[in-house]
């Protein structure tokens, strides 16, 4: 209080005593008058012999509660079978207890919300969430085919937990789970489920989250139609599978979740594949592959047989023999042409030699003639070309003679 007084003294206004603040709060709350309040009963306290009953009323969508006092007769007349977790509407006046600084409600009428009204409210909330796009199929994510680790949110030692774990491990023995046990009905269910959802969504090793609960009445499944829970699921980065109740149960969580499973057992079938079925499918695929490869090999083998049966491949030497025969014929033709050309050229040469011999000086000499040459080699054709005493060379057909001009 000293700190408050010091701050107050530094301002222009005088500090208020606590009693004054309490009185002003009480006066302001008193002006609220009587109001209708909607909430969920978290606790009922009936003291034996006492006419006053104490209720703890909780807001279904927020972590907030108020104490409600009422007369036993009011409770018995308005909601005689009231139980914890029930939804109620009450007519009450807010009261501020100055001595303790606490706020409570004093109710003079209590009504337990009926099934029809609950369904109407759920339908209104459903339309609101649908209009905001929380049910949009385009944003729903497909869980991985084979998740390495699965987050499970369910009640402790519940049949839903047993169904999910047992069936999932039966289908794929190597699957791993991280289970977070929470309350699945009552006033504490929604905050516990939201907290567990945040923990699992922050875990990088979790590939998919399953929220599972067994069957129950509409009142029992109300937490899974809570607006805060629906928005928390919508904001998850990890795919969420809703496995609430039985086939006919459709809480709002089913519409927001990425995958809706009709039962916890169905959730196990949707999140992991069946090992036996996958082995069977692999066997079928291998059989189809083997048949396809066998057909391909047979078809190509048949094509090779057809190619091999062709004459050019059945007797490849035939082609070589044909080409050898063609080469032999060409060679013979070449030889004939060459012989003819050589014979013609030889005949021409003989004729040319004959003409050369006929015109050759040696042929003239053979007929008895001689060639007279001076010493310088000049052929003497007239007597006047030499003088007396000039040496001469006389060429005969065979040999030659030396002579001198003597007249």
Per the DSSP assignment, residues forming a β-bridge with 71 are 52
Distances (CA, A) of 289 to 73, 159, 280, 284, 293: 79, 43, 14, 8, 6
pLDDT digits (tens, 9 = 90+) for 283-302: 999 999 999 999 999 999 99
When mean pLDDT is compared across 65-79, 137-151, 188-202, the lowest value belongs to 65-79
Distances (CA, A) of 153 to 134, 176, 244, 267: 21, 14, 11, 12
pLDDT at residue 319, as a whole number: 77
Average pLDDT of span 189-218: 91
pLDDT at residue 81, as a whole number: 78
CA–CA gap between residue 392 and residue 374 (Å, rounded): 5
For residue 4, pLDDT over 50 is answered with: no
Other CB atoms within 10 A of residue 290 CB: 10
- How would residue 327 be classed by pLDDT, with cut points 50, 70 and 90? very high
Other CB atoms within 10 A of residue 292 CB: 10
Distances (CA, A) of 228 to 73, 223, 256, 294: 35, 9, 12, 60
Classify residue 263 by burial, with Cβ atoms within 10 Å: 0-12, 13-18, 19+.
buried
**More confident call, 113 vs 170:** 170
* CA distance between the termini of the chain: 184
pLDDT at residue 5, as a whole number: 42
Could you give the percent of the chain with pLDDT greater than 70? 95
For residue 392, pLDDT over 50 is answered with: yes
CA–CA gap between residue 163 and residue 178 (Å, rounded): 15
Q: Are 258 and 142 in contact (CB under 8 A)?
A: yes
For residue 372, pLDDT over 60 is answered with: yes
Q: Which of 79, 106, 77 is nearest to 91 (CA)?
A: 106
Over the chain, what is the mean pLDDT?
85
CA–CA gap between residue 215 and residue 159 (Å, rounded): 10
Q: Are 392 and 385 in contact (CB under 8 A)?
A: no
Q: Which of 133, 250, 277, 267 is nearest to 209 (CA)?
A: 267
Q: Are 256 and 220 in contact (CB under 8 A)?
A: no
pLDDT digits (tens, 9 = 90+) for 53-111: 999 888 876 678 889 999 988 888 878 778 877 788 889 999 888 777 888 899 998 88
CA–CA gap between residue 3 and residue 15 (Å, rounded): 11
For residue 3, pLDDT over 60 is answered with: no
């Amino acid at each position: 209080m000293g700190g408050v007084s010091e701050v107050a003294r530094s301002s222009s206004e005088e500090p208020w005593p606590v009693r004054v603040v309490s009185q002003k709060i009480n006066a302001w709350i008193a002006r609220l008058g009587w109001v209708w309040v909607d909430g969920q009963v978290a606790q009922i306290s009936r003291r034996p012999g006492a006419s006053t009953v104490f209720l703890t009323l909780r807001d279904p969508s927020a972590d907030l509660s108020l104490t409600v006092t009422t007369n036993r007769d009011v409770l018995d007349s308005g909601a005689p079978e009231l139980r914890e977790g029930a939804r109620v509407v009450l007519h009450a006046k807010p009261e501020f207890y100055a001595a303790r600084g606490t706020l409570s409600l004093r109710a003079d009428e209590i009504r337990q919300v009926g099934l029809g009204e609950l369904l109407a409210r759920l339908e209104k909330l459903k339309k609101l969430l649908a209009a905001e796009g929380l049910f949009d199929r385009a944003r729903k994510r497909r869980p991985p085919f084979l998740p390495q680790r699965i987050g499970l949110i369910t009640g402790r030692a519940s049949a839903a937990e047993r169904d999910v774990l047992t069936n999932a491990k039966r289908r794929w023995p190597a699957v791993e789970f991280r289970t977070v046990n929470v309350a699945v009905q009552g006033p504490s269910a929604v905050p516990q489920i939201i907290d567990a959802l945040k923990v699992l969504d922050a875990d990088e090793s979790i590939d998919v989250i399953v929220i599972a609960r067994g069957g129950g009445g509409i009142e029992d499944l109300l937490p899974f139609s809570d607006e805060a829970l629906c928005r928390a699921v919508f904001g998850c980065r990890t795919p969420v599978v809703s496995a609430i109740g039985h086939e006919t149960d459709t809480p709002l969580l089913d519409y927001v979740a990425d995958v809706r499973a009709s039962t916890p057992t169905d959730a196990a079938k949707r999140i992991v594949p069946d090992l036996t079925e996958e082995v069977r499918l692999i066997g079928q695929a291998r059989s189809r592959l083997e048949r396809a490869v066998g057909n391909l090999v047979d078809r190509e083998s048949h094509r090779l047989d057809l190619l091999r049966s062709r004459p050019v491949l059945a007797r490849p030497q035939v082609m070589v023999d044909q080409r050898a025969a063609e080469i032999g014929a060409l060679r013979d033709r070449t030889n004939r042409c060459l012989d003819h050309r050589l014979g013609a050229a030889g005949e021409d040469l003989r004729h040319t030699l004959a003409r050369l011999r006929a015109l050759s000086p040696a042929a003239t000499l053979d007929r008895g003639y001689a060639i007279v040459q001076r010493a310088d080699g000049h052929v003497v054709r007239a007597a006047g070309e030499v003088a007396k005493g000039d040496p001469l060379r006389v060429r005969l057909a065979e040999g030659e003679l030396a002579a001198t001009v003597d007249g």
